[in-house]
Chain A
Amino acid sequence: MNFDDFSDFLLMDGHALYVWLSYGMGLFIILLTYIQPVLARKSIIQELSQRQRREAKASETSAVETESTHENKGAC
């Protein structure tokens, strides 16, 4: 270790502001670039699965409709 103790490490010989500001921003950017695609993936999967369900329902109802018209025709 290059420093005497932990507080000496935090103080960085008077350069604490510069060193910790840089590394703080570094941590922020790294977290941001990681979290952004994780959240994007969640919302994409949610959106696509909603669309899937909607389309499945739409094709179901249209199938029922065509069936019922066939029955009506049969009754006539």
Chain B
Amino acid sequence: MNWTWFYKLGSPKWFYDTANKLLPWFLWIGVSFLLVGSVWGLAFAPQDYQQGNSFRIIYLHVPTAILAQSCYMMMAVAAVISLVWKMKLADMFIASAAPIGAAFTFLALFTGAVWGKPTWGTWWVWDARLTAMLVLLFLYFGVISLRSALENIDLASRASAILVLVGVVNIPIIKYSVEWWNTLHQPATFTLTEKPAMPPEMWLPLLVMVVGMYCFFAAISLMRIRNEILQRERRTKWVQKLISEESKF
């Protein structure tokens, strides 16, 4: 296998140029999928016979919740790479993704609460799935505050990578909480092994939203990583050159 791509990933300049090329694609595909998925889910998908129209929150709630956990798993992979190979970009990813993950987790909790009110009759219960999601939010806050508290960048990257890895325990708890414990939360809508229980005109817009959310996540994390690169590599010649070119306009 050819491993040059892995070494290239270690070069911030190469990554910056690649991010510049990929960013518009991710952004436009993400935004258009989210737009199409929302209109489809809100106006055209059939009503749920039990929940009525409040079920339409699923098209926002499920993609954000998936991303909230996915983002954490990606940060965990980055944490291993950052600890083992000391790759700067892995650490920049952790720094960039933590605020996005926090925002998405908050949105998943918020839409869940708003959906819970008409469906379960309550905004919040301290059950396994919901509490584990709240723990996830605090893990993201922990990473963010650890990074801003530690001035030394090497120390900050090591400490946050370790915190991310410790918190990984929470992810299977979120995933299997609906099976292990009695909970108000319904089981997963999508599984890789079984066909969805919904008709296609209900789950297709959901799939569009999930893909859109992944692309949007990719776009905004690339934007954040770009910013991290500019700041941390500001002493290098290529950033100096880029800055003098950018500031002319």
Q: Is the interface of B mostly helix, strand, loop or mixed?
A: helix
B131 near A: Cβ within 8 Å?
Answer: no
**Chain B residues near A25 (CB, 8 Å)?**
107, 110-111, 114
Looking at the assembled complex, report how far the CB atom of B48 sits from the nearest CB atom of chain A, in whole angstroms: 11
Contact, CB under 8 Å: B247 / A13: no
Looking at the assembled complex, report how far the CB atom of B43 sits from the nearest CB atom of chain A, in whole angstroms: 6
Within 8 A of B (CB), among A28-76: 29-30, 32-34, 36-38, 40-41, 44-46, 48-49, 51-52
Contact check: which of B45, B107, B216, B223 meets A2 at CB < 8 Å?
A: B45
Given contacts A23-B42, A25-B107, contact A33 B100 (CB under 8 A): yes
Contact, CB under 8 Å: A48 / B239: yes
B230 near A: Cβ within 8 Å?
Answer: yes
How many A residues have CB within 8 A of the partner chain? 32
B130 near A: Cβ within 8 Å?
Answer: no
Given contacts A18-B54, A33-B103, A44-B227, contact A2 B46 (CB under 8 A): yes
Looking at the assembled complex, report how far the CB atom of A9 sits from the nearest CB atom of chain B, in whole angstroms: 6
CA distance A46 to B243 in the complex (A): 8
**Chain A residues near B226 (CB, 8 Å)?**
37, 41
Contact, CB under 8 Å: B244 / A49: yes
Contact check: which of B60, B220, B227, B231 meets A23 at CB < 8 Å?
A: B60
**Chain A residues near B244 (CB, 8 Å)?**
49, 52
Given contacts A18-B117, A22-B115, contact A37 B224 (CB under 8 A): yes
> Would you give the 0/1 interface string for B177-194, flagging 1 where the beta carbon is closer than 8 Å to chain A?
000000000000000000
B82 near A: Cβ within 8 Å?
Answer: no
Contact, CB under 8 Å: A45 / B223: no
**Chain B residues near A29 (CB, 8 Å)?**
103-104, 106-107
CA distance A36 to B227 in the complex (A): 11
Q: Residue of A at shortest CB range from B231?
A: A44
CA distance A13 to B54 in the complex (A): 9
A12-B54, A45-B247 are known; give 12 further A-B pairs, CB within 8 A. A13-B47, A19-B42, A22-B114, A23-B38, A25-B111, A30-B34, A33-B220, A41-B230, A44-B227, A45-B230, A45-B243, A48-B230
Q: Which 4 A-B pairs have the closest CB atoms?
A: A49-B247, A37-B223, A12-B53, A15-B54
